[in-house]
Amino acid sequence: MALKNITANEVLDKFDANEALNVIDVREDDEVANGVIPGAIHIPLGQIADRQGELNKETPYIIVCHAGGRSFTAASYLDSEGFDVTNMEGGMSAWEGELEF
C-alpha cells in the first residue's frame, strides 16, 4: 500500500476547522525549539522505534519534519508497524499556520 500524503495547506485547513489532529514532529530538539504545530507530539526520528509504544494504532497521525524527508522515513516505518500515518509533504518549511513554542 502506498504511503498517504497531505500538504501543509490541507493540514492547516483541518487545523483551522478545529479538527482533532494528532501531529508527530520528528525533528531534532534544536529544530522544534523554533516552534511546532500547536498540539504536536515531539518524537525525534531516531527515537521513533523505541517510542512507538506511546502511540495508538487506532489513532490517525500526521508525521512532520523540516522538509518532508525524515517524516517520510518515520511514516514508512510506522506504516509498516501497522499505524495509520500520513506524511506532511514539504514539512514545516511549508507550514504557514501558527506555531507553539
For residue 37, give the C-alpha cell.
504545530
From 37, 63, 65, 88, the catalytic residue: 65
CB atoms within 10 A of CB 62: 23
SS3 43: coil
Give DSSP secondary structure letters for 5-30.
EEEHHHHHHHHHTT----EEE-S-HH
User: For this structure, is 65 an active site residue?
Assistant: yes
For residue 28, give the C-alpha cell.
531534532
State the catalytic residues. 65
